[in-house]
Structure 1
Amino acid sequence: MPRPETGNRFDDDDYPAYTVGAAAEMIGTTPAFLRALGEAKLIKPLRSEGGHRRYSRYQLRIAARARELVDEGTPIESACRIIILEDQLEEAQRINEELRAANPPQT
Structure 2
Amino acid sequence: MTADTSYDRLDDENYPAYTMGRAAEMLGTTQGFLRAIGEARLITPLRSAGGHRRYSRYQLRIAARARELVDRGTPVEAACRIIILEDQLEEAQRINAEYRRTASLHTPGT
| Common fold by TM > 0.5 | yes
Larger radius of gyration: 2
RMSD: 1.7
Q: Which runs of 4+ in 1 moved over 3 A?
A: 2-7
- 2:86 aligns to what? 86
The CA distance in 2 between the partners of 1:96 and 1:3, in whole Å, is: 41
Q: Which residue of 2 aligns with 1:63?
A: 63
What SS class does the counterpart of residue 49 from structure 1 fall into? coil
Change (3 A) 1:103 1:82: same
SS in 1 for 2:54: strand
Letter in 2 for 1:27: L
Q: Would the alpha carbon gap of residues 67 and 86 (structure 1) be closer, same or farther in structure 2, given more than 3 Å must change? A: same
* Offset, 1:60: 0.5
> Secondary structure, in 3 states, of the residue corresponding to 1:54?
strand
Structure 1 distance, partners of 2:91, 2:48, is: 30
Aligned equivalents of 1:74 and 1:95: distance in 2?
29
Q: Distance in 2 between matches of 1:5 and 1:33?
A: 33
State the TM-score, normalized to the length of structure 2.
0.88
- Counterpart of 1:72 in structure 2: which amino acid? R
TM-score calculated relative to the size of structure 1: 0.91
Which residue pairs with 2:18 in the alignment?
18
Structure 1 residue 6: deviation in Å?
Answer: 4.0
Q: Quick one: percent identity of the two aligned structures?
A: 71
Tell me the equivalent position of 1:27.
27
Aligned-partner Cα distance in 1 for 2:53–2:18: 8
What amino acid sits opposite 2:87 in the alignment?
D
Gaps of 5+ in 2: none
Structure 1 gaps of 5+ residues are none
Distance (whole Å) between structure 2 residues aligned to residue 10 and residue 86 of structure 1: 28
Shift of 1:9: 0.7
Is residue 44 from structure 1 mapped to residue 44 from structure 2 by the alignment?
yes
Q: How many residues align?
A: 106
